[in-house]
Amino acid sequence: MVDEIRITRAIIESYFERLKDCLDVDVVVVGGGPSGLTCAYYLSDFDVCLIEKNLSLGGGIWGGGMFFNKIVVQKDVLSILDDFDVSYERYDEEHYVVDAIELASSLIKAVSREVEILNGVCVEDVVVKDGVEGVVVNWSASGDLHVDPLVISSRVVVDATGHDAVVCRVTAKKTKAFKVEGEGYMHADLAERLVVERSGEVYKNLFVTGMAVASVYGLPRMGPIFGGMLLSGKKVAEIISGRLRS
Ligand code: 48F
């Protein structure tokens, strides 16, 4: 017979195991959009906790371009799509079209098998000692209630929070060590190239990927072409991987 208390106990016990596993990790990835999911996936040999403030992951993938749920990627990211078993259609020599729903769900499925995910949890601050050493978290649903946060410790933190660059913004404000410029005008070609080039460490142990890179460095925006997001996530994963193994 199904028992309400056993259901409740199963959820609490299982979730608190997950939460304990996340308390002291190698990498915290903040944000479950395309860049954060890609980054987390390629770091899954390490202890990774991905924190997403919304209930669902996927960030800006689902809406495609103006709710048209297709996105475009460039030829040089097809191998990443292959890693996630995502299908694509050739549009012309350079551009390929991907179903936004398939991309979002494939990234989420692959990452959720390998990485601990806390959704409905918001990162509101960072721990800074010798560089960034963790994040300060609270339930997204705590709203206006005065509830003190808790802390997750990590060797490195990745800001994958998209246009808002939340983690870089709070770190910049409190350390005064760098500035967050805010993203620039639309120029897809330039933006795609520069976002990948500038992806990396922005402050000791704090890495930035995806649209947050454009916000930090005042780079142009690119709209619904996603190759740069995937390449940026993979590039940051490779840099961190090298750092953590050294
Ligand atoms: O916005 P988002 O998809 O960022 P991204 O990975 O990709 C950008 C593209 O979607 C698109 C684009 C590319 O062509 O222009 O916009 O750089 O995903 C960011 C995720 O971070 C979450 C947010 O809910 C979203 O899912 N997020 C934002 N702030 C926080 C957060 C926070 N404080 N704590 C936890 N998650």
Q: What is the position in ligand 1's atom list of the atom closest to the CA of 163?
A: 1
Mean pLDDT to the nearest integer, 210-229: 97
pLDDT tens digits, 3-51? 999 999 999 999 999 999 999 999 999 999 999 999 999 999 999 999 9
Q: Is 4 inside any structural domain?
A: no
pLDDT tens digits, 86-103? 999 999 999 999 999 999
Average pLDDT for the chain: 97
Whose Cα sits closest to atom 12 in ligand 1? 223
Q: Is 222 inside any structural domain?
A: yes
Cα–Cα distance list, 117 to 123, 146, 164, 175, 237 (Å): 13, 25, 21, 28, 17
Q: Is 7 inside any structural domain?
A: no
Chain mean position to CA 182: 18
pLDDT tens digits, 177-216? 999 999 999 999 999 999 999 999 999 999 999 999 999 9
Number of domains in the chain: 1
Q: Is 6 inside any structural domain?
A: no
Helix (H, G, I), strand (E, B) or coil at 52: strand
d(CA 157, CA 163): 17
Whose Cα sits closest to atom 10 in ligand 1? 60
Q: What is the position in ligand 1's atom list of the atom closest to the CA of 31?
A: 21
Helix (H, G, I), strand (E, B) or coil at 113: helix
Q: Is 173 inside any structural domain?
A: yes
* CATH number, residue 91: 3.50.50.60
Tell me which of 53, 111, 206, 230 to substitute to probe ligand 1's pocket, judged by most ligand atoms within 8 Å of the beta carbon. 53
Whose Cα sits closest to atom 9 in ligand 1? 60
Q: What is the position in ligand 1's atom list of the atom closest to the CA of 36?
A: 6
Q: What is the position in ligand 1's atom list of the atom closest to the CA of 54?
A: 24
Q: What is the position in ligand 1's atom list of the atom closest to the CA of 233?
A: 6
CA 161 to centroid of ligand 1, rounded, Å: 4
Contact 218, 209 (CB under 8 A): no
CA 9 to centroid of ligand 1, rounded, Å: 33
Q: Could you tell me the pLDDT band of residue 109, with boundaries at 50, 70 and 90?
A: very high
CA 58 to centroid of ligand 1, rounded, Å: 8
Q: Kindly report the pTM of this predicted structure.
A: 0.98
Note down the domain range covering 139.
24-245
**Amino acid letter at 8?**
T
CA 218 to centroid of ligand 1, rounded, Å: 17
Return the closest-CA partner of residue 218 out of 175, 171, 168, 173. Answer: 168
Residues flanking ligand 1, CB < 6 Å: 30-36, 51-54, 59-61, 122-123, 160-162, 164, 166, 210-212, 222-226, 229
Q: Say whether pLDDT at 144 is over 90.
A: no
Structure tokens at 103: 């991309």
Question: What pairs with residue 153 in β-bridges?
Answer: 24, 134
Q: Is 64 inside any structural domain?
A: yes
DSSP conformation letters of 204-235: TTEEE-THHHHHHHTPPB--SB-HHHHHHHHH
